[in-house]
Structure 1
Amino acid sequence: MPESRSPSIARRLPPSEATGRWTGARHGLAKTYGPSDLIVLGIGVMIGAGIFSLAGRQAATMAGPGVILSFMIAGITSLLVAFCIAELSSAMPASGSAYTFTYVIFGEVWAWAVGWALVMELLLAAAVVARAWSLYAAQMLADLGVRIPEPLSGVIGQVEGFDLFTLVILVLLTGVVALGARIGLRTLWIIVVAKLAAIGAVIVVGALHFDEGNLAAIPAPTAPIKASEGFLDSPLLGLVFGQTTAFGWFGIFAASATITFAYIGFDVVATAAEEAEDAPRSIPKGIIRSLVVTTVVYIVVAAVMVGMASYEKIDASAPLASAFRQAGEGFMVHVINAGAVLGLTTVVLVLLVGLTRVVFSMARDGLFPRPLAKINRSYHSPSRATLVIGGAAILLAEFVPVLTLEPLVVIGALFTFLAVAAGVIRMRRTLPDLPRGFRAPLSPYVPIASILATLWLMVNLQVVTWLYFIAWMAFGVLVYLAYGRRKSVLAGGQPPLEPPVGLRGRHRR
């Protein structure tokens, strides 16, 4: 085909190839998700760390009661991006999400960069949240008075090094995802309902102790932010403007950049597009509705928490628990622990689902090894890709201090947000007649606002985070030059995947 003779930077995937080639194929995914399932998928991945740890930590150390504004800023930024992702996913409902969008709109090199960033974001996020899950699970057992046997005490609830609970949750959820989307979806529904019940209890009981005086004013800026004495730990914004303070408006904006971690995941809903019924309409609704619900829940819980206790008295290591203890509601600690464990379980589950779909799509296009694109006939799932991803997440979580790398998840997500917003602007010009089930309002103003807001959040990140991200992307360029550029289907390195004769024409369900 003509595309195969083009330079890699100019090779673009035809829109029809992005979504129209997998019906009935062994490399296509079965229809699984209805409209309500997509909302649960979004809530499952977004409501977790932001509710039970991130909000309180940022209130205590960075933004004070202004953390509510931080959540609003991060939520509005995410909503702008969500409009853009919704339009692209309605036009190209494929499992690759931002990777596939970029492949069609900008070309192969940019698609690889976005896909590589997505792999970092989702893989590292799964490892980070799994480690956090272990910490909460160990704390829940301790608060319940359950004594861990002495031989296991050094390998459970550890911040770094080998951790048994981290291993168990990743092995268990990798198995659930490998067994197919339907089993994972049933599991997700059960846990999300239980998690929302716990959050409801937190809001109701916390509201009984609300003191609006704790929200009276934004605290004045304090000493410079110092994770160490080096400039590499200062926010990039501070280096540009000569100010690196906690609290005040700088603290609020710096917190909003970190809080973006809490919203990361709404874009994962787009990775389910190939498995969703009436995807051009259901995917945009699932993305936007789940994000709106999540934003409201985050803001309400954050307001209750800082309304219960002064930000100066919140224990950053266990913010909600410390707030309830100060209010004399010690029993709520058990509800919080259970809700945290349930919440983080769904986050890991959906992250593994989303990452599997991205890797699966890149393998179908030849940018990753082709065996990762094989669908298991028994489970109708890319089980091989799932097992490889699960193994990688286990190695990362067990042998790398992932909790210190959490900002890399944020910068990876923000990078893909930029590509998506720019993609809407370009698609309106180059593919104006491509059918869409949803259009971002006020284009190009919404995509431009999305780009500006995303860039603002990115410059609030630490310099060391940028350096790590640049190193990861540079390594990705080497991987692409050594493998993807030659093996790409569009480059003619591998033949396009075709369904075996016995499966051609068969309905995926």
Structure 2
Amino acid sequence: MSSFKKFFKKKDINLNPNTNQSEFKRVLGPVDLIMMGIGAIIGAGIFVVTGNAASTVAGPAVILSFLIAGLCCMASGLCYGELSTMIPLSGGAYTYNYVIFGEIAAWLIGSLAVVGYIMVVALVASGWSGYLVSTLESFGFSLDYRFSNPFGSIIKLENGNELIGILNVPATGLVLTTAIVLYFGIELSAIINAIVVTVKMTVLSMFIAIGIFNVDCSNWRPFIPENTGEWGIFGISGILSGAALVLTAFNGYDAVACAAQETKNPQRDLPIGIIGSLIISAITYMLCALVLTGLVNYKDLNVAQPIALAVTKMGMPWFAIIIKLGAVIGLSSVVLITTYVIVRILFAMVEDCLLPKFLGKCHAKYKTPHILTIIVSSLIIIVTNFLELSYLVQLSNICIILITISVCLATILGRKIYPNIKREFKCPGMPIIPGSCIMMLLYLLLTMPDKNVYWQISLVIFFLLVIYIVSINKRKEIK
């Protein structure tokens, strides 16, 4: 087979799980998968993005932004649900692209997923570090700022002095702890994630239940602030811009699809996990946004800790501490599940001979890809401590958007290429639902505020293509 044809060689849709994949323990049920999805989705979005979107573009109507974004993600979630029952193998979007579009598309999507998710974990770990330091200060403990910020970063103190960051010790500790948990197996990871998600949802439920009785309805007027004359800044267009801004707050449900090889009944349980976690997360986001904008005027919400600010305005400093603790706990689950996803995507690429075989070795006792776990965690620590993270936010968002678009396209094309393949779950409203999702995602891509990000993602894709072309003749054929 020529190299050109191999670019588009497709994975056999009827391929049985290979030896290494069958070593995984099938221990996850629908509740575990829903918990996994919630653990990955609800994090920085609820604790940071809500206030920013309300303050800068949508006002109190940010709840409608969450509704639109939630419907968009639900559409892509339905696509994930169909593909997960049609192709019940690990790897998520990477594997789906391999089956539908071929090897080169799979390589690009898998690589972009790894790059994007490593950035996401690094960003969340840094945010977690900030919340932890703030929480400790609430109890009278202080950590030297040089050891809670990336290497070389400049920290301006209130007295005007400056410090130079040495190492983000809390973030590094979180990533190392996550690596240890994943090293010892999916059962332990699922138990810890379930505990973390329970605590996180309890804290957010308390915020909604207590906050709803303290709202000032005048903060909801005007519900849709008048447009400033610029597209996307308040008014109806502001709601759409808000939807684009909060869309990535729903990222994480694809973690469920990556757990196919460890799910007891993937054809039945994967769609339940994906759709269930999305519905619960969307309702939680909308209720929190409603209460948040009722407690604090939307103009004052562009702060790092909007929910903590809202609780403080209620005259409950003790509850503000609980909210910070909830953020610390909640963000840790995002790091855990997203790291798990990265490892499983790379494992699938190893099994398909796109990466060196030794990387996919599973631990004899714990049945986990321990080598990949160590490598991925090390890369996250490097990115967290030695790269400027602020400019990576949009780049990671673009990676995630491109991945989601590919899944929607794969669902539409999969119906035509494999019309007779059994699907335990089918995306309704084909092709309108996935098509609408694609249009929304393209809108988000076109409205990125920093246009330099287009050059950045182009360079990343070019670099990945060079790696693929150089290595293509050295890899073995997939059996």
- TM interval, short-chain normalised: over 0.9
CA distance in structure 2 between the aligned counterparts of 1:343 and 1:318, rounded to whole angstroms? 14
- Is this contact kept in 2: 1:27–1:374, CA < 8 A? no
Question: 1:68 deviation in Å?
Answer: 1.2
1:160-239 to 2 correspondences below 5 Å: 160=153, 161=165, 162-217=167-222, 218-222=224-228
Amino acid across the alignment from 1:21 = P
Q: Deviations over 1:96-123 (max 9, x none)?
A: 1111111111111111111111112211
Question: 1:424 deviation in Å?
Answer: 1.1
CA distance in structure 2 between the aligned counterparts of 1:111 and 1:398, rounded to whole angstroms? 30
Question: 1:292 deviation in Å?
Answer: 0.4
Q: Deviations over 1:78-113 (max 9, x none)?
A: 000001111001111111111111111111111111
CA distance in structure 1 between the aligned counterparts of 2:302 and 2:444, rounded to whole angstroms? 26
Query: Which residue does 2:162 correspond to in 1?
Result: none
Counterpart of 1:317 in 2: which secondary structure? coil
CA distance in structure 2 between the aligned counterparts of 1:486 and 1:392, rounded to whole angstroms? 27
Structure 1 pair 244/327, CA: closer, same or farther in 2 (3 Å)?
same
Question: 1:215 deviation in Å?
Answer: 1.8
Count of residue pairs the alignment pairs up: 464
Question: 1:487 deviation in Å?
Answer: 3.9
CA distance in structure 2 between the aligned counterparts of 1:77 and 1:50, rounded to whole angstroms? 16
1:294-443 to 2 correspondences below 5 Å: 294-443=281-430
Question: 1:253 deviation in Å?
Answer: 2.3
Counterpart of 2:390 in 1: which secondary structure? helix
Which among 442, 446, 449 is matched to residue 459 of structure 1?
A: 446
Amino acid across the alignment from 2:46 = I
Q: Deviations over 1:317-365 (max 9, x none)?
A: 2211222222222222101101100100000000011110000001111
Structure 1 pair 459/192, CA: closer, same or farther in 2 (3 Å)?
same
Structure 1 pair 5/125, CA: closer, same or farther in 2 (3 Å)?
closer
CA distance in structure 1 between the aligned counterparts of 2:438 and 2:366, rounded to whole angstroms? 40
- Please say if 1:264 is aligned against 2:251: yes
CA distance in structure 1 between the aligned counterparts of 2:13 and 2:302, rounded to whole angstroms? 51
- Is this contact kept in 1: 2:150–2:385, CA < 8 A? no
Question: 1:26 deviation in Å?
Answer: 6.6
CA distance in structure 1 between the aligned counterparts of 2:4 and 2:304, rounded to whole angstroms? 54
- Please say if 1:468 is aligned against 2:466: no
Amino acid across the alignment from 2:9 = R
CA distance in structure 2 between the aligned counterparts of 1:131 and 1:430, rounded to whole angstroms? 44
CA distance in structure 1 between the aligned counterparts of 2:299 and 2:440, rounded to whole angstroms? 29
Amino acid across the alignment from 1:13 = K
- Is this contact kept in 2: 1:89–1:283, CA < 8 A? yes
Counterpart of 2:448 in 1: which secondary structure? coil
CA distance in structure 2 between the aligned counterparts of 1:26 and 1:456, rounded to whole angstroms? 38
- Is this contact kept in 1: 2:61–2:239, CA < 8 A? yes
- Is this contact kept in 2: 1:4–1:11, CA < 8 A? no
Structure 1 pair 21/156, CA: closer, same or farther in 2 (3 Å)?
closer
- Please say if 1:12 is aligned against 2:13: no
Query: Which residue does 2:124 correspond to in 1?
Result: 129
CA distance in structure 1 between the aligned counterparts of 2:4 and 2:453, rounded to whole angstroms? 35
Q: Deviations over 1:43-99 (max 9, x none)?
A: 001111111111012212232212212111111110000011110011111111111
Amino acid across the alignment from 2:427 = A
Amino acid across the alignment from 1:280 = Q
CA distance in structure 2 between the aligned counterparts of 1:264 and 1:132, rounded to whole angstroms? 16
Counterpart of 1:432 in 2: which secondary structure? coil
CA distance in structure 1 between the aligned counterparts of 2:427 and 2:210, rounded to whole angstroms? 39
- Is this contact kept in 1: 2:405–2:441, CA < 8 A? yes
CA distance in structure 2 between the aligned counterparts of 1:26 and 1:328, rounded to whole angstroms? 53
Question: 1:158 deviation in Å?
Answer: 6.2
Query: Which residue does 1:480 correspond to in 2?
Result: 468
Which among 60, 65, 73 is matched to residue 70 of structure 1?
A: 65
1:78-157 to 2 correspondences below 5 Å: 78-148=73-143, 152-156=144-148
Question: 1:409 deviation in Å?
Answer: 2.2
CA distance in structure 2 between the aligned counterparts of 1:314 and 1:446, rounded to whole angstroms? 33
Q: Percent identity?
A: 30
- Is this contact kept in 1: 2:215–2:291, CA < 8 A? yes
CA distance in structure 2 between the aligned counterparts of 1:190 and 1:354, rounded to whole angstroms? 19
Amino acid across the alignment from 1:40 = M
Question: 1:460 deviation in Å?
Answer: 2.1
Query: Which residue does 1:234 correspond to in 2?
Result: none
Structure 1 pair 158/252, CA: closer, same or farther in 2 (3 Å)?
farther
Amino acid across the alignment from 2:75 = L
CA distance in structure 2 between the aligned counterparts of 1:400 and 1:113, rounded to whole angstroms? 23
Tell me how large the CA RMSD over aligned residues is.
1.9
Amino acid across the alignment from 2:468 = Y
Question: 1:29 deviation in Å?
Answer: 2.1
Amino acid across the alignment from 2:289 = A
CA distance in structure 2 between the aligned counterparts of 1:444 and 1:488, rounded to whole angstroms? 36
Counterpart of 1:410 in 2: which secondary structure? helix
CA distance in structure 1 between the aligned counterparts of 2:127 and 2:5, rounded to whole angstroms? 44
After TM superposition, the structure 1 stretch with the greater mean CA deviation from structure 2, 460-469 or 41-50, is: 460-469
CA distance in structure 1 between the aligned counterparts of 2:186 and 2:2, rounded to whole angstroms? 34
Amino acid across the alignment from 1:154 = R
Structure 1 pair 21/318, CA: closer, same or farther in 2 (3 Å)?
closer
- Is this contact kept in 2: 1:74–1:257, CA < 8 A? yes
CA distance in structure 2 between the aligned counterparts of 1:39 and 1:292, rounded to whole angstroms? 10
Unaligned runs of 5+ residues in structure 1 are: 224-242, 497-509
Give the structure-2-normalised TM-score: 0.93
CA distance in structure 1 between the aligned counterparts of 2:383 and 2:310, rounded to whole angstroms? 33
Structure 1 pair 467/61, CA: closer, same or farther in 2 (3 Å)?
same
Question: 1:479 deviation in Å?
Answer: 1.3
CA distance in structure 2 between the aligned counterparts of 1:298 and 1:329, rounded to whole angstroms? 22
CA distance in structure 1 between the aligned counterparts of 2:96 and 2:129, rounded to whole angstroms? 35
After TM superposition, the structure 1 stretch with the greater mean CA deviation from structure 2, 250-259 or 55-64, is: 250-259
CA distance in structure 2 between the aligned counterparts of 1:270 and 1:258, rounded to whole angstroms? 24
Query: Which residue does 1:53 correspond to in 2?
Result: 48
CA distance in structure 1 between the aligned counterparts of 2:185 and 2:86, rounded to whole angstroms? 26
CA distance in structure 2 between the aligned counterparts of 1:375 and 1:425, rounded to whole angstroms? 35
CA distance in structure 1 between the aligned counterparts of 2:14 and 2:4, rounded to whole angstroms? 19
Question: 1:140 deviation in Å?
Answer: 0.6
Amino acid across the alignment from 1:206 = G
Question: 1:212 deviation in Å?
Answer: 2.5
Query: Which residue does 1:279 correspond to in 2?
Result: 266
Amino acid across the alignment from 1:329 = M
- Is this contact kept in 2: 1:27–1:375, CA < 8 A? no
